[in-house]
Amino acid sequence: MEFQKLFRYFFNPWLVFGAIGIGVALLIATLLLLSWTRMPGATGIEGTAVITVIDLSTATPILPTVTPTEVETPPSTGLPLPPPGDISKDAYVQVIGTGGNGLRLRVGPGLDRDVRLLGVEDEVFLVQDGPIQADSYTWWFLVGPFDEARQGWAVANFLRVVQNP
């Protein structure tokens, strides 16, 4: 007989239905709380990433240069003459006159040397070595002022000295 009392005490229908009711109420409260705190627009659908590329290149001001009274004429090769101005070590030079094709910077002075990279029109470099005469041209060793990996030997015909790059 004690078993029946114990059974009725633990399995009282009011206690069982009350526990189920409280569980359902807690579940509903949790779901409502999650829906209220959900960020707006978070629908579970992933959007497409948009990337905006901003061109940071700026034109380097070109200062007027003084033209010398006497210019030596290199052998005619179809290339333009070097612009006036004295290129020297530690001077900044700008790539000019390539018609948008870029200036070949080579691993060494000479037309037979491998091309390391192309210097784009109006790009500025720091002169670190030279001049060296090879293949009827004057060659200068150029290094990118902001990226030392951009370096190589270039012909003076496509360089112009610039101040304060």
Reported residue count of the chain is 165
User: What percent of the chain clears pLDDT 70, i.e. is strictly above it?
Assistant: 67
Of 164, 24, 4, nearest to 94 (Cα)? 164
Q: Whole-structure pTM over 0.85, yes or no?
A: no
Helix ranges, 38-93 (H): none
3-state DSSP assignment of residue 143: strand
* Residue 2 confidence (pLDDT) above 80: no
Q: Which of 97, 123, 115, 111 is nearest to 152 (CA)?
A: 115
* Residues 88-141: tens digit of each pLDDT: 888 899 999 888 888 999 999 999 999 999 999 989 999 999 899 999 999 999
For 110-123, write each residue's pLDDT tens digit. 999 999 999 999 89
Location of structure tokens 């200036």: 103
pLDDT in tens, 12-30: 777 778 889 999 999 999 9
Per DSSP, 158 falls in state G
